[in-house]
Chains A and B, each alone.
Chain A
Amino acid sequence: MSGAHQHAKDPVTFVDERLGAARGLRFLMDYVFPDDWSFLLGEIALYSFIVLILTGTFLALFFDPDTTPVLYHGSYQALQGQSVSGAYASTLHISFNVSGGLLARQIHHWAALVFVAAITLHLLRIVFTGAFRKPRDINYFIGVTLLALAILEGFAGYSLPDDLLSGMGLAIAWGVAMSLPLIGGPFATALWGGRFPGSTAFESRLFIAHVFLLPAIIGGLIAVHLAIIMRQRHSQFPGPGRREDNVVGTPMWPGYALRSLGLFAAVAAVLVLMGGLIQINPVWLWGPYHPYIGTNGAQPDWYLGWLIGALRLMPNLEIHAFGHTLVPNPFFGGVLFPGLLFGLLYALPWLDRRFISRDYRRHDLLERPRDNPRRSALAAAVLSAVTVVFAAGSADRLFFQFGFGYEGAVWFFRGAFLLVPVLVFVLTKRVCEQLGRERSYPLRGWSGTVVQRNSRGGFEATPDGDLLSPPEASPESSASRL
């Protein structure tokens, strides 16, 4: 037993004597992280979120969510004396007159783009490796919800400065909200406090959603997401000594904690460097928004591209009955398409166990995409359809870069939307099956000889079947295929 002096010096003892936390600390320190680069995508999303909270808090200290017109008298000469909203004026103030303000704004914007990108890649990893299967389906639903909320949160932030692009985005959002079946008109009118651009209350509603409601929900769901992971332990790829009932990797203490904190610092470093060196959303160049102004060639944040594309590709179908509109056109691209995609994502665990893999058992070992050709082909087909729609969102850039007119581009993408997923499905399925058949040895059947050094220093041919023949189906991989 050590003396009182020793107790005071030792942090573990200090905490344990007050909180009885030793058992929990040991659980955390022993927690094992499987080593695979694709497992870092979720961590990148988490660390981007922390950067977003920090920079967002700084920005909220200076931003003024007010649409009342003021005459701009800041240090940006080109807008001197113009009538702009308080929100826009305070965004210019942050950009030009607050020390580090523009840096914080640009880090915040880049971090938002990286946040949604990391979540999306993380989701793809989960889908293509079957990590959504029992027991991870609940956590997968939370993850899909986080993606939807992240997109909404990003759009809310993009809409706050009241510059030309944020206003154009909000006009479309209003058109889409109006198109909701049954409740569209009253709902949009209630939310905006009148017809677009709405009452002055709308900006403060948007603000409170962006800085409080959505981040609080996202933060809470991230906490639950991580707690469920720790309860179940990480999934892992098959490998030496790795079984369904264990998890092999680096324990949290000390190696993984240091590496993961290192990743946090690296993510923050990259975002800060991007925020400092790469300009993003220079709202002073776009100018303040007015409902009667629009611009061509403008692109929203990348994660909205697929919605713009869907609205563009939809033919001009509207449903009318008895002299009334029932379903206005923006419903199809702005509500139905994202609704179907997220519906498909939410239904995936059920679809997979019922139709695709026909497997109801618990799985903690992951599959490689080739191990499940049907799932990989379906996922790749859906991904390619969304990618085509996403590309259609950049048709104006196509025009500016290559002179490809918008009518031709829209027809091209409509055709690609129908054709590409079929091709991708067939191609992915055949490649996966081929890889499975070859058991990842596409060179099998070659006519060369593999030599190895023998104990006398010479070379001798390896017996056929030693290095080149595929290993017999391992217990894990046959179990996961059953």
Chain B
Amino acid sequence: MSRIWKAIVMFVMWRTGGLRRHPTATARDPSERHTGAPAWAERLVALLLLLIPIAAVVFVALFTLHPNTQLLGLALGVTLALLAAALVLAGRWLVPQETKVEQRPQLADPEMTQQVREQAAAGMEGVTRRRLLTGAAGAAGAGLTAAVVIPVVALGPGLEEQLRRTPWRTGRALVDEQGNPILATDVIERSFLTAFPQHADEEDLGSPVVVVRVDPMTLKLPPERAGWAPEGILAYSKICTHAACAISLFRDPLSPSTESKGPALVCPCHYSTFDVLDGGSVEFGPAGRPLPQLPLKIDAAGVLRAAGPMSGPVGPSWWGDPS
């Protein structure tokens, strides 16, 4: 066992270069200073510096005549790289190479600390009821904080109306992004449509629904939702009840890895997976609430219409939210 450890440790040491000697402490003063720039270094730094205006002119010419992103980046990048090379070479070869020892400052001077502490304490000299005053100051701070914060919380009561409204009403037609009504025949099995309430704001979180068609025989809707899925056509809110992403994946049961499972709607953000057949219950992932279902009906013209409001609140929850 210890051999294995030794082998692992040696491998790590070898990879990280840790085989060097542990630095030892010596009394020797490490200060040193070497001067005298080699001639080649002076010429090389001068050459690099002289190339910079040339590269800079290329950049300016490109910027005015042919502002191509790649060429601009190359020209400016090369200019800066030349500058970097010149500076590093100058720092390493031209100027004196020096190792210095600096004494670290003692941060606290105990005598001074004591004096300042006494001076600070003297600021309360003659005040007898310190505890009362400290408590009162604390109460003042807490009151002030509350006065500033409570108006935010006071937004709460009207919140449900604001956060839960949807434009879905009984009889509203389902339309596509361009506003064209969606016919029952437009919805085919294993595909996936996004629909909105007719004449409503598409950007409203309460609007978008996903429409899918399944084999009516496979439906497992709760009894009170019987009739919500005419011809096996189902509509669910497209906004994930976890963190408001758009549910844009429809798990196709034909995929070999999932063929044992039924069709499900999946949110690409955090993989909340909602069972389509049983009313949008959470099958997998972090969502805490089922996906709200929109009851559907098919009118005489074959257009899909809402048969009632959403079955539950749309979008994520908050503290105190009645759901």
> What residues make up the interface of A, taking CB atoms closer than 8 Å to B?
30-32, 99-100, 102-103, 106-107, 135, 168, 171-172, 174-176, 178-190, 194-197, 231-233, 237-251, 254-259, 261-266, 268-270, 272-277, 290-298, 308, 311-312, 314-318, 323-330, 333-334, 362, 364, 395-396, 405-407, 410, 430-431, 434-435, 438-440, 442-443, 470-471, 474-477
Given contacts A256-B91, A266-B88, contact A323 B322 (CB under 8 A): yes
The closest CB in chain B to the CB of A254 belongs to B95
Chain B contacts of A435 at CB under 8 A?
A: 9, 13, 18
A213 to B235, CA, bound (A): 44
Q: Does B24 contact A (CB under 8 A)?
A: yes
A123 to B23, CA, bound (A): 24
Interface centre among A100, A264, A328, A443 (most CB of B within 10 A): A328
User: Of B78, B156, B249, which contacts A185 at CB under 8 A?
Assistant: B156
Tell me the chain B residues, 139-155 only, with Cβ under 8 Å from chain A.
Answer: 149, 152-155
Q: Does B199 contact A (CB under 8 A)?
A: no
Given contacts A183-B152, A290-B203, contact A316 B319 (CB under 8 A): no
Chain B contacts of A196 at CB under 8 A?
A: 205, 244, 315
Contact B284–A168 (Cβ < 8 Å): no
Chain B contacts of A275 at CB under 8 A?
A: 73
Chain A contacts of B107 at CB under 8 A?
A: 135, 231-232, 362
Q: Does B19 contact A (CB under 8 A)?
A: yes
Contact B5–A434 (Cβ < 8 Å): yes
Chain B contacts of A318 at CB under 8 A?
A: 288-289, 317
The closest CB in chain B to the CB of A279 belongs to B69
Given contacts A188-B318, A241-B29, A254-B91, contact A470 B271 (CB under 8 A): no
User: Of A292, A362, A430, A440, which contacts B21 at CB under 8 A?
Assistant: A440
Given contacts A99-B63, A292-B194, A440-B22, contact A308 B76 (CB under 8 A): no
Interface centre among A185, A312, A364 (most CB of B within 10 A): A185
Contact B96–A254 (Cβ < 8 Å): yes
Could you jot down 22 A-B contacts, CB within 8 Å? A99-B64, A171-B244, A171-B245, A175-B244, A178-B316, A184-B318, A196-B205, A232-B104, A246-B102, A255-B96, A259-B88, A262-B86, A266-B88, A273-B74, A276-B77, A291-B204, A292-B196, A292-B207, A314-B286, A318-B289, A326-B319, A471-B22
Chain A contacts of B322 at CB under 8 A?
A: 323-325
User: Of A242, A296, A476, which contacts B249 at CB under 8 A?
Assistant: A296
A327 to B270, CA, bound (A): 18
Can you add 4 more A-B contacts, CB < 8 Å, to A100-B69, A174-B244, A269-B84? Answer: A186-B156, A245-B104, A276-B73, A325-B288
A106 to B80, CA, bound (A): 17
User: Of A248, A297, A396, which contacts B30 at CB under 8 A?
Assistant: A248
Q: How many residues of B are counted as interface, with CB atoms below 8 angstroms from the partner's CB atoms? A: 109
A333 to B252, CA, bound (A): 28
Expressed in whole angstroms, the minimum distance between the Cβ of B143 and any Cβ of chain A is 18
